[in-house]
Chains A and B, each alone.
Chain A
Amino acid sequence: MQISEDALKQAYRQMKTIRMFEERLHDEIMTGEIAGFTHLYAGQEAVAVGVCEHLDYNDTIASTHRGHGHCIAKGCDVRGMMLEIYGRADGICKGKGGSMHIADIEKGMLGANGIVGGGPPIVVGAALAAKLYGDGRLAVAFSGDGACNQGTTFEAMNLAVVTNAPAIFAFENNHYSEHTGVAYAVGSKDIASRAESFGMKAWRVDGCDFFKVYETMGEVVDHVRAGKGPAAVEFDTERFFGHFEGDPQNYRGEGEIARLREERDSIEIFREHAAKNKLVSKKDLDAIDKEVSDLIDKSVEESRAAAPPTAEDVLTDVYIDYI
């Protein structure tokens, strides 16, 4: 499908930002300076970006615990995100949410979620609101092959169908739900068929190829914006790091990660496709690489030096009016 060079460069920038953000975090987390749990999205960039490039700020998304990628793809401030992950007072959630609860409502990002399956019900609500606003906006719930087994996901799909809500259920099948393989945990042959049996149209696509994702999502988004009901998409994708940082990944096969990075790297696949079809020059892509690298470096530097929240901040923002 047609996509302008500028749009392609923007998409690449987003994907590269996600990749470098996550890879840098992987290193920094080892130093122990970042508290708590972090779950990295590296390897799945094509999905987040391929979906979000069809959305604007009126559309909303809800994410999983592996939410940095969706957050960046939806347009959230990278610097603010880094500060948040470092637990600083100027983070986009004032240091109160952290990696697992990272959000920015103004960009239509309804939050990463620490509860598997917590997102889909919220997205149905956002979709119902979208229906009432009546301007074609929609809501996307990102889930993994883990959440596709949660009752809340099923309830949400059914409710979306019976209320004809403009919701998209995006299932990123990276083949592992925590430390268990999808061959064991998902009883049906795939995930998309589950959505279909709930009564909605479902698509399947290779999640490591931005161009395929973008094209498919064009159809999906058109379908939903036209009021034809909710939709589901199953993306076949890979995650390069562990379930959480610190996960020794003993469940991986011999040389599996090396092979994935070799054969299923969405950044490389993008570059190859762009080069083969002369869509964007290598020079331009390299320049974007440098800009992104600088941005990430700067964000990390700033975050390490930034001030943390104070003890008084514990008590604020529980209620809007305190009595």
Chain B
Amino acid sequence: MAELMLREAILQTLFAEMERDENVVVLGEDIVGGMGTEGGPEAIGGIWGTSTGLYDKFGGDRVIDTPISESAIIGAAGGLGLTGKRPVAEIMFADFLGVCMDQIWNQMAKFRYMFGGKTECPAVVRMIYGAGLNAAAQHSQAPHGILTSMPGLKIVMPSTPADAKGLLTTAIRDQDPVIFLEHKALYAEKGEVPEGEYTIPFGHARLAHAGEDVTIVAAGLMVKFATKAAQGLAEQGIGCDVIDLRTTSPLDEEAILDSVENTGRLVVVDESPPRCGLATDIVSLVTNKAYASLKAPPEMVTSPHTPVPFARELEKAYLPSPGKIADAVQRTLAWK
């Protein structure tokens, strides 16, 4: 076991997989940094520190620093995937999904289906997402809701360094296109990471905290908040199951239903705005399949229906928090 930051776990995994399989190719903006400058290549090693040293070890043919051209980058990932390579493309900020949406939505996600099941595109698109660092409206969004709704994609949202390593390993080895969402506010999060290679299967949630009274469902950074809330509530004698989804597509439906069948109360936490998102998806699933178990209406703790604001106080008000989650739990317990 080693204690690593989440970003270090990602880097370690990329090294390991590129070493293991020569078909793994990494591409993205500034993943090397300094190309075509006097400071030379590797001047940065990726702005997030998740690709440092890859270029030196594996060379420019497999570690491709690109111009600012998201459509071309992601389209190239699609083409590389179709022709036998295993690309790992990076989108520096998930918000840039806007400029390459076609290559994900209409191309990569649909190749296999449109071509009658005769092609494989084992591409991974890593996107850095989430609010909390005052990066404001166009650099803080969480697009997992939109992406989960697209058939053909698998969506992964790790919440711990150990999970990041296992899930990224699985993602790179998976034959379907995978979107791998890394929360920028979790990059410095430390955790115990097992040595050696291991995979974590998709569609297999993690129970981050256990209790008999309320089920809290969360993913990514929200798992940290939910766990904090659950710990505080435990002191008041309230037990919470915190379910870390890990992957929103495929979804571990059984984990959610088993928990709600036991507790009868549901709180879903999601850092996106409330309309047509992950929270509404989970609530509708539970309401439809576990109505008979519910003792109170399900609660959602989400951001409001606004863009992400800039000022510290505003962003704080925007994001869910352990306090807001605890309040929601109390509301489900107060139902008469």
Interface code A148-159, partner B: CB below 8 Å = 1, 0 otherwise?
000110011011
A92 to B119, CA, bound (A): 12
Query: Which of B70, B113, B175, B201 touches A317 (beta carbons < 8 Å)?
Result: B113
A224 at the interface (CB under 8 A from B): no
Query: Which of A97, A120, A132 touches B61 (beta carbons < 8 Å)?
Result: A132
Please indicate the chain B residues that have their CB under 8 angstroms from the CB of A68 in the complex: none
A120 to B75, CA, bound (A): 8
B83 at the interface (CB under 8 A from A): yes
Known: A115-B106, A156-B72, A321-B176. A123 touches B67 (CB 8 A): no
Q: A121 near B176 (CB under 8 angstroms)?
A: no
A-B contact pairs, 17 of them (CB 8 A): A92-B116, A94-B116, A97-B115, A101-B114, A110-B79, A110-B82, A110-B83, A118-B102, A121-B103, A124-B76, A125-B80, A125-B81, A128-B80, A129-B83, A317-B112, A317-B117, A323-B203
The minimal Cβ–Cβ distance linking B240 to chain A, given in whole angstroms, is: 26
Question: Which partner residue on chain B sits nearest A92 by CB separation?
Answer: B116
Please indicate the chain B residues that have their CB under 8 angstroms from the CB of A60 in the complex: 79, 82-83
B27, B117, B176 interface centre (most CB from chain A within 10 Å): B117
A162 at the interface (CB under 8 A from B): yes
- With an 8 Å Cβ cutoff, the count of chain B residues facing the other chain is 50
A131 to B112, CA, bound (A): 24
Question: Which partner residue on chain B sits nearest A133 by CB separation?
Answer: B84
Total A-B residue pairs with C-beta atoms closer than 8 Å? 165
Q: A96 near B71 (CB under 8 angstroms)?
A: no
Q: B75 near A97 (CB under 8 angstroms)?
A: no
B85 at the interface (CB under 8 A from A): yes
B69 at the interface (CB under 8 A from A): yes
A95 at the interface (CB under 8 A from B): yes
The minimal Cβ–Cβ distance linking B116 to chain A, given in whole angstroms, is: 3
B20 at the interface (CB under 8 A from A): no
Q: B79 near A125 (CB under 8 angstroms)?
A: yes
Known: A94-B117, A158-B72. A125 touches B87 (CB 8 A): yes
Question: Which partner residue on chain B sits nearest A110 by CB separation?
Answer: B82
Please indicate the chain A residues that have their CB under 8 angstroms from the CB of B72 in the complex: 120-121, 124, 152, 155-156, 158-159
Please indicate the chain B residues that have their CB under 8 angstroms from the CB of A131 in the complex: 61
Please indicate the chain A residues that have their CB under 8 angstroms from the CB of B120 in the complex: 320
Q: B75 near A156 (CB under 8 angstroms)?
A: yes
Known: A101-B115, A151-B71, A152-B71. A163 touches B64 (CB 8 A): yes
Please indicate the chain A residues that have their CB under 8 angstroms from the CB of B117 in the complex: 94, 96, 316-317
Known: A132-B62, A318-B152. A126 touches B73 (CB 8 A): no
A103 at the interface (CB under 8 A from B): yes
B118 at the interface (CB under 8 A from A): yes
B154 at the interface (CB under 8 A from A): yes
- With an 8 Å Cβ cutoff, the count of chain A residues facing the other chain is 50
A170 at the interface (CB under 8 A from B): no
A103 to B117, CA, bound (A): 11
Please indicate the chain A residues that have their CB under 8 angstroms from the CB of B87 in the complex: 125
B74 at the interface (CB under 8 A from A): yes
| A residues 176-215 touching B (CB-CB < 8 Å) | none
Please indicate the chain A residues that have their CB under 8 angstroms from the CB of B79 in the complex: 60, 62, 110, 121-129, 139
Interface code A95-137, partner B: CB below 8 Å = 1, 0 otherwise?
1110001011110001101110010111111111111110000
Known: A125-B81, A159-B73. A97 touches B114 (CB 8 A): yes
A94 to B118, CA, bound (A): 9
Query: Which of A130, A151, A319, A321 touches B83 (beta carbons < 8 Å)?
Result: A130
Q: A129 near B85 (CB under 8 angstroms)?
A: yes
A144 at the interface (CB under 8 A from B): no
Please indicate the chain A residues that have their CB under 8 angstroms from the CB of B71 in the complex: 121, 151-152, 155-156
**Nearest 5 A-B pairs (CB), nearest first?**
A121-B75, A125-B79, A317-B117, A94-B116, A125-B76
A123 to B75, CA, bound (A): 8
Q: B114 near A103 (CB under 8 angstroms)?
A: yes
A60 to B174, CA, bound (A): 23
B219 at the interface (CB under 8 A from A): no
Q: A122 near B107 (CB under 8 angstroms)?
A: yes
A132 to B103, CA, bound (A): 22
A126 to B121, CA, bound (A): 12
A122 to B89, CA, bound (A): 13
A161 to B203, CA, bound (A): 40
B318 at the interface (CB under 8 A from A): no
B111 at the interface (CB under 8 A from A): yes
Please indicate the chain A residues that have their CB under 8 angstroms from the CB of B81 in the complex: 125
B297 at the interface (CB under 8 A from A): no
B25 at the interface (CB under 8 A from A): yes
Q: B116 near A317 (CB under 8 angstroms)?
A: yes
Query: Which of B82, B107, B112 touches A118 (beta carbons < 8 Å)?
Result: B107
Q: B76 near A128 (CB under 8 angstroms)?
A: yes
A221 at the interface (CB under 8 A from B): no
Interface code B39-54, partner A: CB below 8 Å = 1, 0 otherwise?
0000000000000000
Question: Which partner residue on chain B sits nearest A106 by CB separation?
Answer: B118
Please indicate the chain B residues that have their CB under 8 angstroms from the CB of A103 in the complex: 114-115, 118-119
Query: Which of B66, B69, B80 touches A126 (beta carbons < 8 Å)?
Result: B80
Q: A159 near B66 (CB under 8 angstroms)?
A: yes
